[in-house]
Amino acid sequence: MPTSPLEIVRFPDPRLKKVSEPVAEITDEIRALAEEMCQVMYDEPGIGLAAPQVGHALRLFVIDTEWSEEGNDREPQVMINPEFLRREGSLVWEEGCLSVPDYTADVERAAAVTIRAMDLDGKEIIEEAEGLRAVCLQHEYDHLDGILFIDRISRLKRSLYVKKRKKQLAEEAEE
């Protein structure tokens, strides 16, 4: 399968901190972007990818929390202009992010959510989710508001990661 020309935007790129604009119209360009984002998500591999993570400040993300690298059970879901209708309870989940390389941390999230969005046909989606699916929806939604999961951990843990990442980038620049 061909790889996508889209590249993951990685921390500390300032584009990750921008609040995304709503998708005004579902065009062929939006459909193509969503398709490429799915390809990137599977190639990386990940279970979710938001448009800001590939350099597009649009309120759109793709998720697939059920697929595995071994199988062909890919059923990506595209969510355009999502909004939460409900967030309840609390859970802690170890999260990672394609835009935050080489780091995971426990993040507190709502345990159950209800989200409303549009699909690529402009039809309304309303989904209730718990566990991993709820975490993934909240994580990707945060990207649309310029929030990374490391913004939701302690200042000390975040500063240690930032220091590590700056050192990593400096070493890459020397190569």
CA–CA dist 131, 116 (Å, integer): 18
Q: What is the DSSP string of 24-58?
A: -S--HHHHHHHHHHHHHHHHTT-SEEEGGGGT--B
What are the boundaries of each domain within the chain?
A: 14-174
142 vs 3, more confident:
142
pLDDT in tens, 98-118: 999 999 999 999 999 999 999
Supply the pLDDT for residue 2. 46
Cis? peptide before 22, omega within 30° of 0: no
Q: Residue 137 has what DSSP assignment?
A: H
Supply the pLDDT for residue 48. 98
Catalytic pick among 140, 171, 172, 174: 140
- Tell me how many degrees the CA angle 149-41-61 measures, rounded to the nearest 5: 65
User: Is 140 a known active-site residue?
Assistant: yes
pLDDT in tens, 41-98: 999 999 999 999 999 999 999 999 987 766 668 899 999 999 999 999 999 999 999 9
How far CA 1 is from CA of 4, 36, 66, in Å, comes to: 10, 12, 20
Supply the pLDDT for residue 71. 64
Supply the pLDDT for residue 91. 97
Supply the pLDDT for residue 67. 79
pLDDT of 3 higher than 60 = no
The fold of 14-174 is Peptide Deformylase (3.90.45)
CB-CB neighbours of 140 under 10 Å: 24
Supply the pLDDT for residue 4. 58
Alpha helices by DSSP H, 16-154: 28-43, 131-144
